[in-house]
């Protein structure tokens, strides 16, 4: 056991994902999820040494009790004393944060100010930070922002064609998300392709329940599909991605929807789930499409078509393309989606190697094309490792 363990927290409104990373070996020592917090039956699952430990919390127990329970587990297993920092995934850093930072009272108040831009996410992150500050009161806490990697995007890509005052006065612009993942795969692609990061031009597709695609030029993000919020861009599990903004007004004015119902519809009832009328889960849709389920087939077709269009459009800011990278649960595992998307991008010369494409799943990475010019590669993401490494780097700089 090294003394370089970082405890990672990713706090949602009713859930909390956590992990313990050894930054020297890059191994995940422990991971888990506290779910259904502040409900009748909150539960924590901790994965450690190949076992799953389930702890039922008292009804209405929330983040603080969940974190305290995990800390007690760490103490019980002689892990707590090796933890040197707590790293928090924070969804929105606005324009205030272009990189990870050690959390000070001033940083916390800046994150609170940015909450206005991410009312669904940042308040939960702040709850997590405060709870961790209590539980690990001797340790430095670090914030790693989903938006930070995208702060290199130029104004022509981040401004919406709206009155400029909305940007100036209210910060309405594209921020982009999944930055930690896009950054991680950039590093890995650089190694895999043998191209220095500052010369690497890739398009990275993070395809999980949320999905986004990023154009990365000379190792820096220059455009990305998510916007002011994580609703814009690709078709996602339950989010609609790009639609005509007037649809919202139509729903309200013509169909009598309330604003909250529109939000619910666009965020939770659309995307793969809405189109298929079946599931938001890509695996289920692939199986059902195979069995002839029309809705599943349509949902996957639209998902792939829109993704291919995004990838093609991102060759504009790049000029030159070294590779398309697939990551996230779908990108890492679905040979079918990758093949479908790359077929639609054959204008760029992609020739999928079927064996390599099928082999690249369940954590395997590698090049899946067999052609000259741009390649397609699969890289399993590791956001926790980036958060842990940033945390260690920052606390070492402080010492």
Please tell me whether residue 114 binds ligand ADP under the rule CB under 6 A: no
Please tell me whether residue 286 binds ligand ADP under the rule CB under 6 A: yes
Spatial separation of the C-alpha atoms in residues 207 and 185, rounded to whole Å = 13
Please write down the HEC assignment for all residues of 30-50: EEEEEECCCCCCCEEEEEECC
* Residue 378 CB, nearest approach to ligand ADP (Å): 12
229: closest CA among 124, 89, 94?
94
Among 282, 304, 307, 392, contact with ligand ADP (rule: CB under 6 A): 282
131: closest CA among 116, 32, 123?
123
Q: Whose Cβ is closer to ligand ADP: residue 242's or residue 281's?
A: 281
Binding mask 314-343 vs ligand ADP (x if CB under 6 A, - otherwise)?
--------------xxx--xx---------
The stretches of 239-293 forming alpha helices (DSSP H) are 246-253, 259-268, 271-276, 282-290
Kindly report the number of other CB atoms within 10 A of residue 238's CB atom. Answer: 19
Spatial separation of the C-alpha atoms in residues 366 and 368, rounded to whole Å = 6
Among 170, 249, 283, 354, contact with ligand ADP (rule: CB under 6 A): 283
Among 237, 241, 271, 317, contact with ligand ADP (rule: CB under 6 A): 237
Binding mask 62-91 vs ligand ADP (x if CB under 6 A, - otherwise)?
------------------------------
Among 94, 208, 233, 317, contact with ligand ADP (rule: CB under 6 A): 208
* Residue 349 CB, nearest approach to ligand ADP (Å): 26
Burial class of residue 319, CB neighbours in 10 A (0-12, 13-18, 19+): exposed
Binding mask 242-281 vs ligand ADP (x if CB under 6 A, - otherwise)?
---------------------------------------x
The contacts of residue 186 (CB under 8 Å, 6+ apart) are 197, 200, 202, 204, 216, 219
Please tell me whether residue 209 binds ligand ADP under the rule CB under 6 A: yes
Spatial separation of the C-alpha atoms in residues 238 and 231, rounded to whole Å = 10
Please tell me whether residue 13 binds ligand ADP under the rule CB under 6 A: no
* Residue 73 CB, nearest approach to ligand ADP (Å): 23
Please tell me whether residue 288 binds ligand ADP under the rule CB under 6 A: no
Q: Whose Cβ is closer to ligand ADP: residue 201's or residue 333's?
A: 333
| Positive/negative CA dihedral, 279, 284, 285, 288 | negative
Which segment (83-91, 92-100, 187-195, 207-215) binds ligand ADP by CB under 6 A? 207-215
Please write down the HEC assignment for all residues of 174-207: CCCCCHHHHHHHHHHHHHHHCCCHHHCCEEEEEE
Based on the residue annotation, tell me whether 146 is a catalytic residue of this protein: yes
What is the token pair recorded at 53?
Answer: 């430990």
The set of catalytic residues is 146
Provide the binding-site residues for ligand ADP, judged by CB under 6 A: 208-210, 237, 281-283, 286, 328-330, 333-334
């Amino acid at each position: 056991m090294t003394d370089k363990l970082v405890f990672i927290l990713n706090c949602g409104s009713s859930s909390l994902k956590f992990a313990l990373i050894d930054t020297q070996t890059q191994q995940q020592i422990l991971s888990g999820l506290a779910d259904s917090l502040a409900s009748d039956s909150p539960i924590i699952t901790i994965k450690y040494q190949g076992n799953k430990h389930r702890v039922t919390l008292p009804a209405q127990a929330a983040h603080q009790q969940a974190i305290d329970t995990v800390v007690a587990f760490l103490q019980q297993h002689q892990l707590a004393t090796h933890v040197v920092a707590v790293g928090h995934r924070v969804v929105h850093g606005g324009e205030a944060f272009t990189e990870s930072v050690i959390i000070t009272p001033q940083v916390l108040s800046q994150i609170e100010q940015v909450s206005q831009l991410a009312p669904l996410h940042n308040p939960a992150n702040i709850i997590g930070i405060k709870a961790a500050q209590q539980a690990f009161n001797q340790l430095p806490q670090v914030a790693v922002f989903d938006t930070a990697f995208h702060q290199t995007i130029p104004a022509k890509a981040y401004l919406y064609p709206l009155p400029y005052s909305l940007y100036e006065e209210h910060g309405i612009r594209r921020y982009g998300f999944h930055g930690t993942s896009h950054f991680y795969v950039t590093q890995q692609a650089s190694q895999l392709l043998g191209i220095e990061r500052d010369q690497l031009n890739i398009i990275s597709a993070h395809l999980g329940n949320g999905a986004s695609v990023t154009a990365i030029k000379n190792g820096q993000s220059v455009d990305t599909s998510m916007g002011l919020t994580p609703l814009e861009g690709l078709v996602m599990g339950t989010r609609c991605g790009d639609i005509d903004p007037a649809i919202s007004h139509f729903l309200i004015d013509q169909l009598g929807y309330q604003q909250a119902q529109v939000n619910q519809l666009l965020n939770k009832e659309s995307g793969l789930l809405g189109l298929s009328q079946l599931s938001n889960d890509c695996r289920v849709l692939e199986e059902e499409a195979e069995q002839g389920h029309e809705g599943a087939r349509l949902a996957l077709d639209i998902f792939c078509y829109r993704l291919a269009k995004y990838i093609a459009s991102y060759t504009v800011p790049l000029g030159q393309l070294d590779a398309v990278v697939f990551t996230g649960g779908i990108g890492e595992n679905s040979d079918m989606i990758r093949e479908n998307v790359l077929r639609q991008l054959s204008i760029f010369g992609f020739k999928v190697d079927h064996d390599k494409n099928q082999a690249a799943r369940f954590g395997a990475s590698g090049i899946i094309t067999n052609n000259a010019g741009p390649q397609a590669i699969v890289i399993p993401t590791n956001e926790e490792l980036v958060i842990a490494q940033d945390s260690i780097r920052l606390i070492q700089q402080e010492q």
